[in-house]
Structure 1
Amino acid sequence: MAHRGNWWRYIMYDPERDRPRVSRTLLGRVYRYARPYMGSILLTLLTIGVVSLLELIPPLLYRELIDHTLPNRDFGRLNLLAGIMVAVPILSGLLGVFQRYLNARVGEGIIYDLRQELYDHLQHMSLRFFTHTKSGEIISRLNNDVVGAQNAITGTIPNIVTNTFVLVSTLAVMISMEWRLTLISVIVLPLFILPAKRVGRILREIRRRAMELNAEMSNAIGETLNVNGALLVKTFGRARYEVERFRRINRQVRDIGVRRALVGRWFFMGLGIVGALGTALVYWIGGRFVLEGAMTIGGIVAFAAYLGRLYGPISALSNVQVEFAQAMVSFERVFEYLDLPLEITDRPDAVELDQVRGEIVFEHVSFRYPTPPGKGEPAAAAEEQAPSPNGSGVSSVEEQSPVSDLPALPTRLWALEDISFHVEPGELVALVGPSGAGKTTITYLLPRLYDPTEGRILLDGH
């Protein structure tokens, strides 16, 4: 796959694009989901701290081995150090597994609660929501965004905590070993921080765009690869158009993936170069300290090992604000759906019918279909169109087809206007009228898929 020399466009960043913002309200809502798992979260933090301290031990063992054990030919101490070198990673690994278990338990629990609440909320949304919302968008919120929130709980946030522990503990040990060399090592930190912040913003923009494209692709698949969608595509001869539409989206998904891979590769190559520069600087200046007797050979080896542990957390934490905000984007997108108001709700004094006789009364009922954003006034004739969400058909076919399937009545503001009738229990009633007269609308109002705009509908007098 060639890109004809335009590789640079994959690492460009537009600072004018929207940036994620983390508010106290958003954090409070996330905390509400995390609160039932607070015990496991605190235990996870404790485990992270213990693992971070254990990982400080090996460089000290190297110093002891080089400075004292080998020169003194102390075989007993050599065996002890070798045993500790084996025991530390085993213990650290076991604690890491336990930490991972806690992360998964907390993350999966929070996501289970979040996904279930979102699904329950969507089940109570009115029919209008599903007719005006693409099914691919809904599926993307339930799958992609919820999984993104899970990654924030099990990945991003634990990584921030871990890197903070490692950074603080490593710096403390380095300062205790040789404070002058520690200050010199800090000189190269801007070479980590500045590129990391820049690349972090680029990756944040790429991830957001990738989420949008994945939602668009899910919608395209949902529109055309179901029974209703396939029927419309074949009926109107739109196969070539839909293939090209999917090709365009698929190409954008491919390009955004290439861009993300290229940005990451350049960044990590730069980190490797800067890390090598810092290590060389430590050995060069530390070697002078050794020659002057201010530092031991084992000390400089241990110090260089700690330096390698220092740069990774610094580069990660330098972009912590953007990374954390990006992690919160998935929660924000899920909360957008949870905040959608319910249009069909029961009154506090609603009566629950134990036995339904079947008496139906329409009293001066008028109804107009809600207008989708940007569509202007609703048309009464649209009531004869089955309420197929954009995801269950092909919107492009419906919008662009020269064939109108609603020719019988001119469009008007009201689908039903001042309708009254009374149906006794067991009575058989037929709804007769031309297309667009309101027959389908009545069948939508009976099960309360919509509420009437004016008037009221009674079932057994309620």
Structure 2
Amino acid sequence: MADFAMNPESPRGRDGATRPDPKDRVQLESHPVSLRRIGALFAPYRARLSAVVALIVATSAIGLATPFLTRHLIDEAIPNQDVPLLLVLVGAMLGVTVVTSVLGVFQTWISTVIGQRVMHRLRTDVFAHLQRQSLDFFKRTRGGEVQSRLTHDISAMQSVVTTAATSIASNVTTAVGTAIAMVALSWQLSLLSLIVLPPAIWLTRKVATMRREVTAKRQRALANLHGQVEESLSVSGVLLGKTLGAGPSLTAKFSDSSEGLLDLEVRAQLAGRWRMATMSIIFAAIPALLYLAAGLPATSGGMTIGTLVAFVSLQAGLFRPLMGVLNVGVQVTSSMALFSRIFEYLDLPVTIDDPAEPVRPADGGGALALEGVSFTYPDGDRPAVDAVTLAVPAGSSLALVGESGSGKSTIAALISRLHDPTAGRVTIDGVDLRDMTLQDLSGVVGVVSQETYLLHTTIRENLRYAKPEATDAEIEAAARAAQVHDLIVALPDGYDTLVGARGYRFSGGEKQRLAIARTLLRDPRVLVLDEATSALDNETERAVQAALDVVSAGRTTISIAHRLSTVRDADQIAVVDHGRIVESGDHAELLARGGRYAALVGSSGAVAISPALA
């Protein structure tokens, strides 16, 4: 967003920014930013910032000495063959270059360190704050938007701190100092410059506006092209395209987009060339007019050649800083909009957070209780869970069954505190989940969900993600319990095998067993299995279920499943309908009642409950 000072190709680049981007204004209106808050980020670096400003002023002031040295060189030292003066002036000119260059290095070093430290703080704060956001936030927010703010926007702040801010100070200092020096050299030529510069600036900005519009269209077209590449050539996109036979239509669509980009690229290059041509004409015309004025008796005023050369040198260096000063408003608006986007994420409320006075999990076997628990999603018009009361003794198992959308997974999410109940409470060993820290809770409750997510790293690191300090022996023990150890050691690289993007090199059942092993590595008291074996074939499921039966000893297990083989062995089965528990008991008891559960299972003794229970 703040590439105006770094990237001349940007639609808001330094030479193309004639007015603030409407999106920046909208952003600032929706989330205003105070200068005090921005200043607080830089408060620890006041001394360094003062040093940067002092270096900028010193560099600009020292640099202005060169034209005056040039005048004396041309008017006195060279015509008079004054060798000592010549050596002094030449030495001084070299000295000015050396000093300004060294000061520029120090300025860049200090400002870059400040910028990187502020970026580091913001990047870490935003990442940590987003980690504390509820699952609902990530469901309603595009992943690309989160990544853009965390990486692109914060990285763009480097140009705000090290380039935009320093360029504003440098441009103002240089423009003011150059104007004063020009008047000191020749007020007549200064007056002529005041007449010539405004139309030159107007023409340059006019051409820059045209180029900005074309470049903006090109960037949008390029972004669209990148989006098509990302969607179509990802693993999921390729799989979808091949199964639907969409390859030819995708290629045709990409070709159309590429052809549109071709036209915009040509127009952008021509617009850039027009801008360069305009700048070249202006840079040639203004000195030519100054030479003309100096050569006419009526306007020369007895001007020396040295004064003329020095003045032209100053005037040539005035145009760019003057343009920068005129664009300060755009730069400030763009910078403020960038801070607004970052602060907007930092100001997001944390709906599920650690308590002010946390309670350590009580020692126990993991007795779970839901006491009059209700929950309504923020955008829901009715409770997803309605007055649910359940008691699951430590070490026992509970199976939740019901139709799709009945509230089973929401109950599981409440048990793992992905949501907080709007009424009632959930306790483990008598402690309300909201009284524990989230870190402590994650060590008490382990979750294996239907959707398995594996990181693009080795199997060992995927498993160790649950417990960074786990030993290789612990990792192998968890893999054996999940019936996946033999599969891993059969691979060429064993536990050091790269999983691949989202685990696509493994089957659904293999990924599920890896996920189960990862969760078991934390050795939780309460184990939540949300359709954890749904992707397994019957034989593999029996093996994993046998392993789970072993590791479930002493653990409280909550299972959401539709297969009878999983449900019938549970100590307690609860039938969920529209967020309510309509029946509960063990398999035999519920069948004997002949109620809702018996109707779902059927009197034929089928090996699986109807898929409607999924």
CA gap 1:84/1:15 in 2 versus in 1, 3 angstroms: closer
Aligned-residue offset at 1:426: 2.0
Q: Would you say 1:417 and 2:386 are equivalent positions?
A: yes
1:20/1:325 contact within 8 Å kept: yes
Taking the TM superposition and a 5 Å limit, the aligned residue runs for 1:239-258 are: none
Moved more, 452-461 or 12-21: 12-21
Q: Greater shift after overlay, 450-459 or 121-130?
A: 450-459
Shift of 1:335: 2.0
Which amino acid is the alignment partner of residue 451 of structure 1? D
> Corresponding residue for 1:406?
none
Q: Give the one of 443, 446, 460 matched to 2:412.
A: 443
Report the alpha carbon displacement of residue 354 of structure 1 after superposing the two structures with TM. 6.4
From 82, 90, 95, give the equivalent of 1:87: 95
User: Is it true that 1:332 corresponds to 2:340 in the alignment?
Assistant: yes
| 1:363-420 CA distance string (max 9 Å, x none) | 222233343xxxxx67xxxxxxxxxxxxxxxxxxxxxxxxxxxxxxxxxx44322211
For 2:395, which of 418, 426, 443 is the aligned residue? Answer: 426
Q: Structure 2-normalised TM-score?
A: 0.60
TM-aligned CA deviation for residue 459 of structure 1 = 2.7
Report deviation, 1:214.
8.0
Which residue of structure 2 aligns with residue 391 of structure 1? none
Shift of 1:276: 2.0
Q: For 1:134 and 1:331, how far apart are their aligned partners in 2?
A: 20
Equivalent-residue separation in structure 2 for 1:305 and 1:322 (angstroms): 28
Aligned CA distance change for structure 1 residues 239 and 458 (closer, same or farther; 3 Å): farther
Q: 2:135 aligns with which of 119, 127, 130?
A: 127
Aligned-pair distance for 1:271? 2.6
Q: How does 1:142-161 map to 2 (within 5 A)?
A: 142-161=150-169
Secondary structure of residue in 2 paired with 1:348: coil
| Counterpart in the other structure of 1:59 | 67
Matches within 5 A, 1:109-124: 109-124=117-132
Separation (CA, whole Å) in 1 of partners of 2:361 and 2:323: 63
Cα distance in structure 2, aligned partners of 1:171 and 1:320: 18
Give 2:65's aligned amino acid.
I
Moved more, 34-43 or 296-305: 34-43
Do the aligned residues in 2 keep the contact of 1:423 with 1:429 (CA within 8 Å)?
Answer: yes
Residue type at the aligned position of 2:397: L
User: Which consecutive unaligned segments of at least 5 residues does structure 1 have?
Assistant: 1-9, 372-376, 379-412
What are the Cα deviations for residues 336-355 of structure 1, in whole angstroms up to 9, with x where unaligned? 22222222234434434365
Q: Which residue of 2 aligns with 1:321?
A: 329
Change (3 A) 1:93 1:353: same
1:316 to partner: Cα distance = 2.0
Corresponding residue number in structure 1 for 2:3: none
Separation in 2 of the partners of 1:459 and 1:215?
Answer: 49
Mapped partners of 1:209, 1:26: distance in 2: 32
In the TM superposition, 1:257-296 aligns within 5 A as 262-288=270-296, 294-296=302-304
For 1:213 and 1:447, how far apart are their aligned partners in 2? 44
Between 1:32-41 and 1:212-221, the stretch displaced more is 212-221
Distance 1:132 1:281 in 2: 61
What do the CA deviations read for 1:300-329 (whole angstroms, capped 9, x no partner)?
111111110111111222222112212333
1:359 aligns with 2:367: yes
Residue in structure 1 matched with residue 194 of structure 2 by the alignment: 186
What secondary structure does 1:44 align onto? helix
Does 1 or 2 have the higher relative contact order (CA < 8 Å, sep 6+)?
1
Give the AA of the match of 1:430: A
Aligned CA distance change for structure 1 residues 164 and 14 (closer, same or farther; 3 Å): closer
Aligned to 1:396: none
Aligned to 1:141: 149
Using a 3 Å threshold, how does the CA distance of structure 1 residues 126 and 19 change in structure 2: closer, same or farther? closer
Secondary structure of residue in 2 paired with 1:25: coil
Equivalent pairs counted in the alignment come to 414
1:435 shift after superposition = 3.1
**1:105 corresponds to 2:91:** no
| 2:346 paired with 1:342 | no
Structure having the higher Rg: 2
Contact 1:191 1:274 in 2 (8 A): no
| Higher helix proportion (structure 1 or 2) | 1
Distance 1:252 1:138, change over 3 A: farther
The structural deviation recorded for 1:46 is 0.8
Change in Cα spacing, 1:256 to 1:323, as seen in structure 2 (3 Å) is farther
How has the CA–CA distance of structure 1 residues 169 and 289 changed in structure 2, closer, same or farther, with 3 Å as cutoff?
farther
SS at 2:402 equivalent: coil
Say if 2:366 and 2:395, in contact at 8 Å, map to a contact too.
yes
Residue 454 of structure 1 and its aligned partner are, at CA, apart by 3.1
- Once residues 289 and 34 of structure 1 are traced to their aligned partners in structure 2, the CA distance between those partners, rounded to angstroms, is 56
Equivalent pair of 1:141/1:334 in contact (CA under 8 Å): yes
Distance in 1 between residues matched to 2:217 and 2:339, nearest whole Å:
16
In structure 2, runs of 5+ residues without a counterpart are 1-10, 433-614
Measured in 1, the distance between the counterparts of 2:135 and 2:33 equals 30
Q: 1:130 to 1:81 in 2, by over 3 A?
A: same
SS of equivalent to 1:361: strand
The CA distance in 2 between the partners of 1:260 and 1:30, in whole Å, is 36
Alignment pair present for 1:20 and 2:28: no
Match of 1:300 among 305, 308, 323: 308
AA in 2 matched with 1:368 = T
Q: Cα offset for 1:275?
A: 2.5
Deviations 1:135-168 (A, max 9, x none): 1111111111112222111212211111111101
The sequence identity of aligned pairs, in percent, is: 35
Q: What is the CA deviation profile of residues 104-149 of structure 1, one whole-angstrom value per residue up to 9, with x for unaligned ones?
A: 1111111111111111111011101111211111111111111222
Q: Which of 173, 176, 179 is the aligned partner of 1:171?
A: 179
Cα gap change, 1:38/1:189 in structure 2, threshold over 3 Å: closer, same or farther? same
Query: What is the distance in 2 between the residues matched to 1:74 and 1:17?
Result: 57
Distance 1:156 1:251, change over 3 A: farther
Distance apart, 1:229 and its partner CA = 6.0
* Counterpart code for 2:108: R
Q: Considering only aligned residues, what root-mean-square deviation do their CA atoms show, in Å? A: 3.6
Is the partner of 2:335 in helix, strand or coil?
helix
Secondary structure at 2:356's aligned position in 1? Answer: coil
